[in-house]
Structure 1
Amino acid sequence: MAEHSIIRKLVSLVTKHEIISIGTKYFPTTPLETEYVDMFNYTQTMLMEIDKAHITTESIFTNLVRDVGRENIPENHSFYELLPAQDKVEEYALVSNIIMGSDRYMYVELSEPSYIINLFTDIILRENGEIIERSETEIVSRLMSKNDAIRVAIRLVGIGLDNGIRVRAAAGMTGAAAIERSIKFNKEVGDSPGVAFTKLGGEYALVLDTPFKLAESEPPEFQQYLFIDIVDSTNFISKYGRNKLVELMTSVKEFMEDCEGQIEGYREGGDDLIAKFPSKDVAIRAGLDCAWFILNNGAKVKIGIGRSRREAGERANIAESIHGFGALSLVVFDLANGLYGYFIPSDFTRTLCEFLTNKKGKLITAFIVMFVASYLLAVMGMGIYGLLIVLLLVAYYTFR
């Protein structure tokens, strides 16, 4: 699905925004992943580039500071690029984050056995982490998010420096990936204390080789707000009645609450609401589920996701300004320093896409026959019959 270049170009032309993919190339390995991949491909959900992200080493570090908190990044540090990120968004990596969630594994390695490993264990547990394995010099743990893993790892490296122990840490999608990243860090940078991690397909390391003291602060909050608004609810009410709208929004509200969402600003009978989620991936997943559900019930929806209520609302309004042959159902969110959206096509658009995909060969043949026949008729002075040939051939190759 994600390779339909002709359809992507056509939709990009109509919407005036590049379509990166249709469906997904992500390969599922669990029943939940299979369910989501099937929905992406069945609905032909399209990833749209609204404001292109410019992915550079500098922008990666800027995002790191924003995500982890400036107060959690020591002033004396070196930032290394182990593997550069491509200056493009990979849809399957995005789908992977959305489906698999934000939790990450953290591998911590001490240069020699030390009592501080007990302190490290306590800190990880206090940060709502889970200890997977532990030895005299190593800990494999799982934390709530990559940002949590990086923030905690920086703190552990600092404690190690205060006690004359070199501590190297790495975050990864799995424990094995985190260990492999730590090995690569050691190979590329040397036996230095620090933290290795990935961002947007690239691999990076924050080297911290001088003692530091972080300012006392609360763990940063990573919650995301989701603003949802039914498009042209007046028309929806005139077609289906107000009770149908109430029923639809009640189902959406209950679903969001089941997905860890805290509902704000909803009034029964209204056509919009705001919900707060613990992380961006949960918010996007909930937004997609709601958009698929709402579209299946005869309505279109604009959804914005952001770090504040205002930001989420502004992104929903951005969705309102993007049109195809009418209003679109869009879920808009930020990625790196860019803005992207998932466009869920209507039944008509999806049918048209399937038609162009499945009968592309027939259409090309019909066009060639039509062109040759029309040209010959024009030469013979009977060009008016070319229109009849066009209609007959299109009907024949379409419905036979």
Structure 2
Amino acid sequence: MVMDYLLRKILGFFLGYRVLSIGTRYMPTNSTEREYVEMLNYTRTMLIEIERAHINTSNIFDNLTRELGTENIPGNRKFIEIKPADEEVDEYALLSNIIMGSDRYLYIEIFNGGRIVDEFVDIIENENGKIIEKSSSEVLARFLSKNDAIRVAIKIIGAGSRRGINVRAAAGMTGAAAIERAINLNREIGEVPGVGFTKLGGEFAIIFTGEFETPTGAPSYRDNYLFTDMIDSTAFIERYGRDSLVEIMNDIKAYMENDCKGKIEGYREGGDDLIANFPTKDMALRAGIDSAWHAMDNGANIRVGIGRTRREAGERAQLADKIMLWNPTSIMVFDVADGLYGYFIPSPFTRSVIDFFMNRKSVAFLVFIFVFVATFLGWNMGHWEFGIVAILLAVIYGATA
């Protein structure tokens, strides 16, 4: 832990941006998760903070209102915080969302014995939800995203309110999580109609204190554009040939289309860039990080930006030009809340240095003492360059040992 902290601080100093993690502490439970965890740790992929997100309850509710659409949230709603959100972006939660996807379960519980389940089922199915289980007082359904689940829950609560029936709803990553969230919400506020959900590690709810008309607004659709291009493609072609570039870009294009349901826009075979639109943000993130790893395996570096518009995605990709250690390397830039973050994939040289310090801690400690002593003595003797020489020797040793 100490070495990880020191490395993050040192690398953050040279990058000019805060390093939140090197690799991941995510514990995989299946083959897909294991594959991602192994790649993150093998490549020492770093999560970096480019612009810090301002995570607070007010911003979370403002973002939710914007994402759902104001026409889909009645005026008599009340936002409540049950558990505050994490103050910082959690790499564990971020990776979990990328791997497991954005689909969410919605649990509906009907209070005071109302006979309205069939009407709720119709609402869910009309909104492209999938019924998992139902009984006379409960419904468990699955939606493509958390926002869809919350939006439909509000419709269902409104339909119940017109009949004098109180409804509890909760969204979760699994059916069990959604049910547990509903139980916790009942404990907090009783049988007041409302929907519970999580955002950025916090627990929140939208509750309603009176009857309201069922919202008739359409789903608020969000584009998830991904812009990517190869860094210094001219040098890559000179070294590996144009056929290699074409093969890499075609592989990336096929993966985005077939595995991530991306819609490619304006790609010309032989080109070194492309833009794609994805149904959900997690698919765009997965496509971006997988493409960066694939390019790395074939000797190339790419820059990836993800945004709501084509221009926003392109501007974020261009940030890669300013984020580097010794030379340009693959990076994916994206937003979390109102902040900007990136997955930075170190070069093989940098990975060797990181591996040395992470895996050979006792030797690394001696190297640290050597650098410290050399710097201290040099400073006191008027030869500050001793410290620079010591650092260079340590880096060379770490890369070749």
Please give the residue correspondences for 1:237-276 in structure 2 after superposition, counting only pairs within 5 Å.
237-258=237-258, 259-276=260-277
1:255 is aligned with what amino acid? Y
Name the structure 1 match of 2:341: 340
Deviations 1:296-341 (A, max 9, x none): 1111111011111121111111222222212131111110111111
Kindly name which structure, 1 or 2, has the bigger radius of gyration based on alpha carbons. Answer: 1
The 10-residue stretch of structure 1 (122-131 or 354-363) with the greater mean CA deviation from structure 2: 354-363
Shift, 1:133, TM fit: 1.5
Deviations 1:131-175 (A, max 9, x none): 121111111111111111000000000000011100110001111
Name the structure 2 match of 1:193: 193
Q: Distance in 1 between matches of 2:399 and 2:349?
A: 16
1:148 is aligned with what amino acid? D
Q: Distance in 2 between matches of 1:221 and 1:290?
A: 25
Q: Distance in 2 between matches of 1:275 and 1:370?
A: 47
**Any conservation in 1 of the 2:23–2:43 contact (CA below 8 Å)?**
yes
1:32 is aligned with what amino acid? T
Name the structure 1 match of 2:161: 161
Shift, 1:223, TM fit: 3.5
Please give the residue correspondences for 1:1-400 in structure 2 after superposition, counting only pairs within 5 Å.
4-213=4-213, 216-258=216-258, 259-365=260-366, 368=369
**Any conservation in 2 of the 1:287–1:303 contact (CA below 8 Å)?**
yes
The 10-residue stretch of structure 1 (363-372 or 243-252) with the greater mean CA deviation from structure 2: 363-372
2:337 is aligned with what amino acid? A
Shift, 1:222, TM fit: 3.2
Q: The residue matched to 1:74 in structure 2 has which SS?
A: coil
The 10-residue stretch of structure 1 (256-265 or 192-201) with the greater mean CA deviation from structure 2: 256-265
Shift, 1:214, TM fit: 5.0
Residues 369/276 of structure 1: CA separation in 2 closer, same or farther (3 Å cut): closer
Q: Distance in 2 between matches of 1:358 and 1:69?
A: 49
The 10-residue stretch of structure 1 (208-217 or 17-26) with the greater mean CA deviation from structure 2: 208-217
Shift, 1:360, TM fit: 3.6
Deviations 1:374-400 (A, max 9, x none): 999xxxxxxxxxxx9999999999988
Shift, 1:124, TM fit: 1.2
CA RMSD of aligned residues (A): 2.9
Shift, 1:370, TM fit: 8.8
Q: Distance in 2 between matches of 1:42 and 1:360?
A: 18
Q: The residue matched to 1:304 in structure 2 has which SS?
A: strand
Deviations 1:15-63 (A, max 9, x none): 1000100111111111111111111111111101010011111011011
Q: Distance in 1 between matches of 2:318 and 2:29?
A: 36
2:262 is aligned with what amino acid? G
Q: Distance in 2 between matches of 1:232 and 1:395?
A: 26
1:336 is aligned with what amino acid? A
Runs ≥4 in structure 1, deviation > 6 angstroms? 369-376, 388-400
Identical amino acids, percent of aligned pairs: 54
Deviations 1:49-85 (A, max 9, x none): 0100111110110111122112111111111100001
The 10-residue stretch of structure 1 (334-343 or 112-121) with the greater mean CA deviation from structure 2: 112-121
**Any conservation in 1 of the 2:356–2:398 contact (CA below 8 Å)?**
no
**Any conservation in 1 of the 2:356–2:364 contact (CA below 8 Å)?**
no
**Any conservation in 1 of the 2:117–2:137 contact (CA below 8 Å)?**
yes
**Any conservation in 1 of the 2:108–2:138 contact (CA below 8 Å)?**
yes
Shift, 1:363, TM fit: 3.9
Q: Distance in 1 between matches of 2:35 and 2:282?
A: 16
Q: How many residues align?
A: 393
Q: Distance in 2 between matches of 1:107 and 1:47?
A: 33
Deviations 1:68-124 (A, max 9, x none): 112111111111100001211111011110000111111101113334210111121
Deviations 1:218-248 (A, max 9, x none): 2222331110111111111111122211111
Gaps (5+ residues) in structure 1? 377-387
Q: TM-score, normalised by structure 1?
A: 0.91
Q: TM-score, normalised by structure 2?
A: 0.91
Q: Distance in 1 between matches of 2:234 and 2:84?
A: 49
1:43 is aligned with what amino acid? T
The 10-residue stretch of structure 1 (366-375 or 318-327) with the greater mean CA deviation from structure 2: 366-375
Shift, 1:369, TM fit: 7.1
